[in-house]
Amino acid sequence: MKVFGIILEASPLHFGHLYFIKKIKQKYQPDLLIALVSTNFTMRGEISVIDKFTKTSLLLENGVDLILELPFSYAVQSADYFAKGAIQILNLLNVTDIAFGSETSKLKLYETVYERFNNFTTTTYYNKKISFKQSFNAFLENSNFTLDEKDLIIKPNFTLGFQYIKNILDQKLNINYHLIKRIKNNYDDILPTNKIASATSIRKLLKEKKDLHYFLPYQPNLLIDLQNAENQLVTILGYVYHIDERNLSYFGQKEGINSYIKKNGDFYHTFDDLITSLKNKKYTSSLIRRTLLHNLLGTSAPFFPLTYLRILGLNQKGTNYLNTLPLDVKKIIFSSPKEIEHNNTNENNYKILEIELKATMLYQIITRNFELYYNEYKLPIRKD
C-alpha cells in the first residue's frame, strides 16, 4: 500500500489545506491518507482557533481516512521536537510517504542543507549545550548559499520540512518525502490577498471580528472567540505568576525566564500586550508563549522514543488499515482515556495523556465550551 502521512496544525483549517490534500491525491494517488494533528494549542504556543474535535470532523469530511493527535507535550515545542515526535508516530503507523507544504519545489535544496549542516556540526561547530536554532543560525552564517536560498531556508515551512527530512534520514527510516508548493500565500502572511489565505492572516481577521466566509470552507461560527479566549488566559496566567506559589519549571526552560516573566510581564491588559512586554532578542514570542503554557500545565520532558498512538477519528478505510498493523502496534493504539488503563503501555503515555487532558480542560475554560472535555471520552469520531 501507498500510505501517506501529513502533519497539520489546522488553526484554522482553510482552503490552502484542502488544496494540499487534493494535490496529494491527484499527484500520488495514495491508498490511505493519515493526518497527524496538533490539538488545542499550536507549535508557537498560540490558542488554536478551532478545537481538535471539530478539526477531526472537518478532515474526515475532506478526504482524510485516519486522524491521530500530536499531543500538547510534543505539539507545543520548537520545530526539532515537534518534528521528532510527529515522525516517530507516523513511522509506528507504517506510513510509506509523507508530504508537507513548502515555499519552494526544490527538494534538492532540503537535501543539500541536510548534508552541509551535518558536515558543519560534526566537524566545525557542534555543541550540545546550545539549541538547534543557535547551531543552525551559525551554520547559515558560515555557509555559501545564495541570498535567495537563505531567504527560503529561514522561512517557517522550510525549517519544519527540513526537520521532517532530518529525522527520517538521521533514523534511516523507510519513508519517502515530498513537497507540495504553497500557492498564493506564505505561512506568515499577515494580510490575505485571495481565497487561499494564510492561517496567520485568518487569525488576525478573526481577532478583528471581520467576516471570514470568503476564506473558510465551512461556517466561521465553528471558530472560537479568540480575543476573549486570550483575555481569559491572561487572567489565569496572572494568578499563576503572582499568587500561586508553584514551582514554575519545565524541560528545556531558559534559566531565569520565570523571574523575568514575573517581574516584567504585563498581566493586566491583553495577551498580545503580555507577549510584547516580554519578548526581546533573547526570548522570542513563540518561546514566551510556550513557556507560559508549559508552566501553567506542568509539562514534563518530552519522552523518546514516542509510542503514543491516539486515534481522534477514522473512516472505514482507516479502520481496515489499523487491522493490518503489527500486533505490538495495535496494542498501544487507543482513543478514549478509559482504554489506555487496560493497555500494556508504558508509564510515559499516561503522563502524556494526563497533560493532554489538562490542556483540553484549559481550552474548555478559556473558550467557554463546556461540553468539550466530555468529547475526550467519546472518541474516536467515525465517518462511514
In tens, the pLDDT along 300-356 reads 878 899 999 999 999 999 999 999 999 999 999 999 999 886 655 678 899 999 999
At residue 344, the pLDDT reads: 53
At residue 77, the pLDDT reads: 94
At residue 343, the pLDDT reads: 59
Stretch 361-374: mean pLDDT: 96
CB neighbours of residue 261 within 10 Å: 21
Pairwise CA distance, residues 99 & 357, whole Å: 29
- What is the DSSP annotation of 161-225? HHHHHHHHHHTT-S-EEEEEE--S--TT-SS--SSS--HHHHHHHHHTT---GGG-SS-GGGS--
pTM to 2 decimals? 0.93
pLDDT digits (tens, 9 = 90+) for 219-265: 999 999 999 999 999 999 999 888 876 666 665 566 788 889 989 99
Percentage of the chain exceeding pLDDT 70: 91
pLDDT digits (tens, 9 = 90+) for 265-292: 999 999 999 999 999 988 999 999 999 9
Residues 6+ positions from 266 with CB-CB distance below 8 Å: 273, 274, 276, 277
Q: What share of the chain is helix, strand, coil (3-state, %, to 5)?
A: 50, 10, 40
At residue 189, the pLDDT reads: 58
More confident of the two residues 303 and 366: 366
At residue 129, the pLDDT reads: 63
The half-sphere exposure of 11 on its side-chain side, counting CA atoms within 13 A, is 25
At residue 23, the pLDDT reads: 96
> Per the structure block, which three cell numbers stand in for 238?
496572572
Residue 47 is classified by DSSP as B
Stretch 202-216: mean pLDDT: 94
Please say if the pLDDT value at position 108 is more than 60.
Answer: yes
Instruction: Please tell me whether residue 38 adopts helix, strand or coil conformation.
Output: strand
Does residue 248 come out as left (phi exceeding 0), alpha (psi in the -120 to 50 range) or beta? beta
At residue 345, the pLDDT reads: 60
pLDDT digits (tens, 9 = 90+) for 113-164: 999 998 887 666 556 566 778 888 888 988 889 999 999 999 888 999 999 9
The pair phi, psi for residue 298, each rounded to 5°, is: 70, 40
At residue 156, the pLDDT reads: 85
